[in-house]
């Protein structure tokens, strides 16, 4: 799928009445979601919940950082009011979704590259993150 096809799909999705659309093709996955609003007067910006940064123990030499793979808004839960993907102290397996990053109205899953225990959440829900910014600290198994 090329960039023009993706832009065309995003444009059609924005104009549609759909709230969510997912497209998968071989090694490509596109998930588009629209924020949920209580009335039409709300802005088109995503709704962010206020989840405090979670901290547990001091860093150890077995710790690894999960970096942001792109610039965008980070969401620690699939939707406002829903449980976070992972909390401090949770067991994490490589490939587990730990958060979402929205960039240009496209929502991207961020998966843990490590097996281990989540020791620290380094970002706040709904905050803007930079490329390669540390998101989580995981104690590797």
| pTM, to two decimals | 0.59
Q: Could you tell me if 19 and 36 are in contact, meaning their C-beta atoms sit under 8 angstroms apart?
A: yes
How would you classify residue 95: left for phi > 0, otherwise alpha for psi between -120 and 50, otherwise beta?
left
Q: How far apart are CA 76 and CA 6, in angstroms?
A: 25
- Confidence band for 41, pLDDT divided at 50, 70 and 90: very low
Cβ atoms 69, 108 nearer than 8 A: yes
- b/e sequence 80-103, b meaning 16+ C-beta within 10 Å: beeebbbebeeebeeebebbbbbe
pLDDT in tens, 126-138: 999 999 999 999 9
At residue 6, the pLDDT reads: 77
The pLDDT of residue 111 is 96
pLDDT digits (tens, 9 = 90+) for 62-108: 789 999 999 999 999 999 889 999 999 999 999 999 999 999 889 99
**Domain residue ranges in the chain:** 3-33, 63-140
Question: Topology of domain 63-140, per CATH?
Answer: OB fold (Dihydrolipoamide Acetyltransferase, E2P) (2.40.50)
């Amino acid at each position: 799928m090329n960039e023009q096809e993706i832009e065309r799909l995003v444009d059609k999705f924005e104009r549609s009445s759909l709230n969510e659309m997912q497209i998968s093709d071989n090694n490509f996955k596109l998930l588009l979601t629209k924020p949920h609003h209580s009335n039409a007067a709300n802005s088109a910006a995503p709704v962010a919940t206020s989840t405090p940064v979670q901290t547990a123990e001091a860093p150890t030499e077995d710790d690894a950082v999960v970096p942001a793979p792109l610039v965008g808004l980070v969401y620690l839960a699939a939707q406002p009011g829903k449980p976070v993907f992972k909390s401090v102290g949770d067991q994490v397996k490589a490939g587990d979704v730990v958060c979402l990053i929205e960039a240009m109205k496209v929502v991207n899953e961020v998966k843990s590259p490590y097996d281990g225990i989540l020791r620290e959440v380094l970002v706040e829900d709904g905050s803007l993150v930079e490329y390669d910014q540390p998101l989580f600290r995981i104690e590797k198994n």
